A = this chain, B = another copy of it.
């Protein structure tokens, strides 16, 4: 466990607990984690994308930096509209999952609700060779049922 990428992600998010943005040196960070500098870009691309609710700004050359900004949505009346536009009438699982994480980080949904949502949009729930509506719904719904039980298990573990 303790993936390098995961560690870097958490490291950055820890830096951002107070402030909504953080500025760092790519090479320094890479050196701190003993990895290739491009590893940092990988983490940014996979965990700090716009869909995750972050914006990356950077600058090269002497005194260069990478700045990570958490997007403001406080009081943004069109957040839902924005998300709906982003989704459009076709969206892949990766994007959907990123948006769910985003909602979760903003505490707009609970951990359990996020899990429920993920289960509804997962490959597993939707990749079917059929077209009948009921059949499809069954697939989605079974997935969600499983999720409910998983959530209960989680809850019980935490209650102890």
Contacts and interface: CB of A to CB of B under 8 A. Distances in A.
Interface of A, secondary structure class, is: helix
A45 interface: no
B133 A127 contact: yes
A10 interface: no
Number of this chain's copies in the assembly equals 2
Contact of A153 (B20, B62, B116): B20
Interface in A116-142: 116-117, 120-121, 123, 126-127, 130-142
Interface residues of A, number: 68
A74 B159 CA distance: 15
Nearest to A79: B149
Contact of A2 (B2, B63, B142): B63
Given A131-B131, A145-B87, A140 B153 contact: no
Interface in A58-86: 62-63, 65, 69-74, 80, 83-84
A50 to B, nearest CB: 6
- 8 tightest A-B contacts by CB? A3-B63, A120-B120, A90-B134, A91-B138, A71-B149, A72-B153, A80-B149, A90-B135
